[in-house]
Structure 1
Amino acid sequence: MATVIDIEARGTQHCETTALGVLLRHQGLDLSEPMLFGLGSGLSFVYWDSKNMGFPFLGGRVKPFELTRNLATRLGLELVVQETTSPRRAWENVAALVGAGHPVGLQLDSYYLDYFGSKVHFGGHVVAMYGYDDHDAYVVDTDQQGGKVSTSLTSLAQARAARGPMAAKHRSFTLTAPGNVPSPQAHIIPAITACADAFLNPPIANLGHRGIEKAGKLVRTWLQRTDNPQRDLPQAALLMEKAGTGGALFRNLYRDFLAECTQLLDSSHLRTGYRLYTEAAILWTEAAALITEAGESGNAQSLVQAGTILGDVSRMEREAMKALSSLGSEAPAIQP
């Protein structure tokens, strides 16, 4: 017999904001995906490379689940997280909540999910579970993965039990909004300035604007970094554009968040940040296309061009975040 909650799934692009949207709409709090991403101070940058990695990874957001924690803190939501090493207890935790009418967020490894087309291990994937029957779990994932989908209970258990980079121990979570549902407007400026300050003052050179500058230098060497450039370079570019980022390594999502904010707050700093992130998003997509081209053709000049673009992007995003970090020092008028 099936246990299913009535939920609303929408066309979304990024896994964590997809799950957050499902959980919060069920609580009566309806925010756009860019607003969820921005209020969670989700934008970042990391150039990640290590000896045990086959190829460098460019990341455009904060660590998995940090966005959820940021959003809950900022909006005063009650975030209850359960983790366990016991597969049996892990299932009992979510079955009890779904049975009581609460959709549940799950962090797991997307590799094991039946409906996933690309079989790549990623332990930071997040879905919202809203039902189950004797054989399958019903979950909401991104538009790219099918939206409302199902996966066998066996595959779900494997995905939740997986270990490796970014994985969590059968993590499940719920969000509860206070009686008076919070208005996001008052939290926009703190969310933006927190994101900007972290981006402008990274603790190591692989993060923030310094990380993008570093990527601009190192991307030029990527043909020498791999023995299979036809596979690795297009794959890296694909992750930047298509892997749940919303395009342009999450810059499209942040651009749309800033656009939404300019409709709510009258601020020249905000408009400057929006204009620069609109430009930066276009350049990220251009860089990804050049990286793909270099992998397919073996032409090192394409990587030189991509590196030059990333150098420009580093300066552009730094300028954008400097403007946005100044939001805290002005009192923008709320748009009528």
Structure 2
Amino acid sequence: MSKIIEEFIPFEGEHCETTTMGNLLQFAGVRISEPMLFGLGQGLGFIYWDSKGMDFPFIGGRVKPDELTACISFRLNFTIKAQETSSIKKAWQNVQSFIEHGIPVGLKLDSYYLDYFTNKVHFAAHYAVIYGMDEEYAYMADTRQQGGLVKTSLDHLAMARNAKGPMSSRNRSFTIEPLDTRPPLMPAIRLSLAQNAHDYLNPPISNMGNKGIVKMSKEILKWPSRSKNVEHDLCLTALLMERAGTGGALFRNLYRDFLKECVELSGDPKVEQAYLLFTAIAPMWVHVSSMIDLAGRTGNYQELNQVSELLLEIADKERIAMGFLLKD
């Protein structure tokens, strides 16, 4: 069975989950910028994730997978219809029936198995849209970095969907219900700003949110002694922070651009203060990742002392910026 949704036009984005939502919404006739989707999804966060089973800590700059999608749908008043199954056959049937009816489908995947990914790292919380298939290939819409409209073999897609591991969801697929009425944008923006700020400033555990950045500033000094391959671990961490679908600066570029749109829409001076702070914060995160990369390449771990100090400065600025966004 071969079916391509001919009227599908790709949404160009930097980050996989917002790009996927942009594709599904755009097909439904709703056009919203990627920074606005990220902001409405209350996407900004931070996690310093380390556990006994991990070779090296993971640094994340956004909320948990699937939460961003759930928040976007809630704020824009539409329904996500998601399906998960342990059956590979049922998983394909879930997707195939929608494609045959001309409806693109969001997928959650382990990017390691996708043919078009050149950096082979297991990451089971990658998102993309499938908009067609034939006897051999699935036709996908992914981020700009991954090539936009791409294809992967059906066998590899099945492995990517059925993968286990951290952040995975077995064969998760989802579509959006047609939108009846859209709520006014400004109230949705204000609620998203306030809730994201509250969650960021009041994390449930100390390795998340603003406290997580402070924790990283301490823990980073221990990195060389706990790594089995320091150059690989530091350089990979820097790469993931800056380029792995984050939109740059550990998602701070996306959030800065969201705040800029908010200022243009509302003229709110507090939001403008937060925006101005994030214009300074974003390049600081770029500096953090570049110094971590330099430490890895040169073996000069004094760089990590500077990173530690810079992280404390970032934590202070982000705390102040998010404070401006809390409800009065």
Q: For this structure pair, what is the TM-score category when the shorter chain's length is used for normalisation?
A: over 0.9
Q: Note the aligned Cα RMSD (angstroms).
A: 1.0
1:4 matched to which residue of 2? 4
1:28-39 equivalences in 2 (<5 Å): 28-39=29-40
- Per-residue CA deviation, residues 125-178 of structure 1 (Å, 9 max, x unaligned), is 110111101110001111111110000000000111111111101100011242
Return 5+ residue gaps in structure 1 as ranges.
330-336
1:46 matched to which residue of 2? 47
The answer to whether structure 1 residue 238 and structure 2 residue 224 are counterparts is no
- Per-residue CA deviation, residues 66-125 of structure 1 (Å, 9 max, x unaligned), is 100111111111110111111111101110011111110000111100110011111111
Structure 1 residue ranges, 4+ long, deviating more than 3 angstroms after superposition: 180-183
1:105-124 equivalences in 2 (<5 Å): 105-124=106-125
Deviation at 1:296, TM superposition (A): 1.1
Deviation at 1:183, TM superposition (A): 4.1
Deviation at 1:268, TM superposition (A): 1.1
Task: Indicate the SS of the match to 1:18.
Answer: helix
Letter in 1 for 2:241: M
Percent of residue pairs bearing the same amino acid type: 49
CA contact (8 A) 2:10 2:148 kept: yes
2:92 matched to which residue of 1? 91
CA contact (8 A) 1:29 1:181 kept: no
2:210 matched to which residue of 1? 209
Deviation at 1:221, TM superposition (A): 2.0
Letter in 1 for 2:3: T
Alignment TM-score, normalising by the size of structure 2: 0.98
- Per-residue CA deviation, residues 176-197 of structure 1 (Å, 9 max, x unaligned), is 2422344433310001111000
Deviates more, 1:143-152 or 1:178-187: 178-187
2:186 matched to which residue of 1? 185
**1:269 and 1:51 mapped to 2: Cα distance?**
42
Letter in 2 for 1:97: F
- Per-residue CA deviation, residues 22-76 of structure 1 (Å, 9 max, x unaligned), is 1000111100010111000011000001111111111001111110011111111
**2:54 and 2:37 mapped to 1: Cα distance?**
31
Return 5+ residue gaps in structure 2 as ranges.
none
CA contact (8 A) 1:114 1:151 kept: yes
CA contact (8 A) 1:105 1:126 kept: yes
**1:103 and 1:186 mapped to 2: Cα distance?**
29
1:19 matched to which residue of 2? 20
Task: Indicate the SS of the match to 1:204.
Answer: coil
2:127 matched to which residue of 1? 126
2:105 matched to which residue of 1? 104
2:159 matched to which residue of 1? 158
**2:133 and 2:198 mapped to 1: Cα distance?**
42
Paired residues, number: 327
Letter in 2 for 1:185: M
- Per-residue CA deviation, residues 298-334 of structure 1 (Å, 9 max, x unaligned), is 1121000011110100010000010111xx33xxxxx
CA contact (8 A) 2:85 2:170 kept: yes
**1:321 and 1:227 mapped to 2: Cα distance?**
37
